[in-house]
């Protein structure tokens, strides 16, 4: 554990049952094959049933410039994953909306720069039709896309997308909310 790191730079280490076993500085948790840690991924849909993708800022320490789900990150120590998901929606995209937990899964994947993501990932789904204000420190651009188009493009151009997006996409398609009930926030 990095005693001098702020809570913003720490991830919550967990076992395969999601029991907290400690904390570790974020970059160290992604180095040397990775350490299993808690994370979340948010997929927001509009009334037309499209999901909002973000292109990660080129300044990100891993997976820079790749297309990913609406937002994703790590809860801070002591922070609930749902609260963290709402916080990051506001910080990264300038909006918030109701979210529902869809599923959890564990994955381990290399993400470039000799880093590995090994996450116990909580996946949240939401609906929103409103203004999106990307934070340029986090997001280079955004676009709305149908899951069918996204699935096709991830197969044709896998190097354009984050690993966790590709891994979770089939489960998200099965858990996707019915369209037509998006909310403005």
Between CA 90 and CA 111 the distance in angstroms is 25
Strand ranges (DSSP E) for 8-138?
Answer: 10-14, 20-25, 37-45, 51-56, 67-68, 71-73, 99-112, 115-127
Tell whether 60 is covered by a domain: yes
Indicate which residue of 72, 97, 117, 127 is catalytic. 72
CATH number for the domain that contains residue 113:
3.90.79.10
Q: Model confidence over 118-165: pLDDT tens digits? A: 999 999 999 999 999 999 999 999 999 999 999 999 999 999 999 999
Tell whether 107 is covered by a domain: yes
For residue 92, indicate whether it is catalytic: no
In three-state secondary structure terms, 128 is strand
Q: Which residues pair with 183 in a beta bridge?
A: 128
Overall number of domains in the chain:
1
For residue 149, indicate whether it is catalytic: no
Between CA 5 and CA 49 the distance in angstroms is 40
Report the chain's mean pLDDT, rounded to a whole number. Answer: 91
Q: How many CB atoms lie within 10 A of CB 64?
A: 15
Between CA 89 and CA 14 the distance in angstroms is 24
Indicate which residue of 92, 117, 119, 163 is catalytic. 119
Structural contact between residues 84 and 125, judged by C-beta atoms closer than 8 angstroms: no
Q: Model confidence over 9-53: pLDDT tens digits? A: 999 999 999 999 999 999 999 998 889 999 999 999 999 999 999
Tell whether 184 is covered by a domain: no
Which residues span the domain enclosing 100? Answer: 7-175
Tell whether 106 is covered by a domain: yes
Tell whether 158 is covered by a domain: yes
DSSP 161: B
Structural contact between residues 116 and 11, judged by C-beta atoms closer than 8 angstroms: no
Is the predicted pLDDT of residue 183 greater than 80, yes or no?
no
Structural contact between residues 185 and 128, judged by C-beta atoms closer than 8 angstroms: yes
First-to-last C-alpha distance (Å) of the chain: 38
pTM of the model: 0.90
Tell whether 133 is covered by a domain: yes
Tell whether 185 is covered by a domain: no
């Amino acid at each position: 554990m990095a005693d001098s790191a702020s809570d913003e730079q720490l991830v919550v280490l967990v076992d395969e049952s999601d029991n907290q076993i400690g904390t570790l500085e974020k970059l160290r948790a992604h180095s040397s094959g990775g350490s299993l840690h808690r994370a979340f991924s948010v997929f927001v849909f509009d009334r037309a049933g499209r999901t909002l993708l973000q292109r990660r800022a080129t300044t990100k320490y891993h997976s820079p410039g790749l297309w990913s789900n609406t937002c994703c990150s790590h809860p801070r120590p002591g922070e609930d994953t749902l609260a963290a998901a709402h916080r990051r929606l506001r910080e990264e995209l300038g909006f918030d909306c109701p979210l529902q937990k869809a599923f959890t899964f564990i994955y381990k994947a290399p993400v470039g720069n000799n880093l590995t993501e090994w996450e116990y990932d909580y996946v949240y789904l939401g609906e929103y039709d409103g203004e999106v204000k990307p934070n340029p420190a986090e997001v280079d651009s955004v676009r709305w896309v149908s899951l069918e188009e996204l699935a096709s493009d991830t197969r044709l151009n896998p190097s354009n997308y984050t690993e966790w997006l590709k891994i979770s996409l089939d489960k998200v398609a099965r858990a996707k909310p019915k369209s037509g009930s998006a909310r403005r926030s």
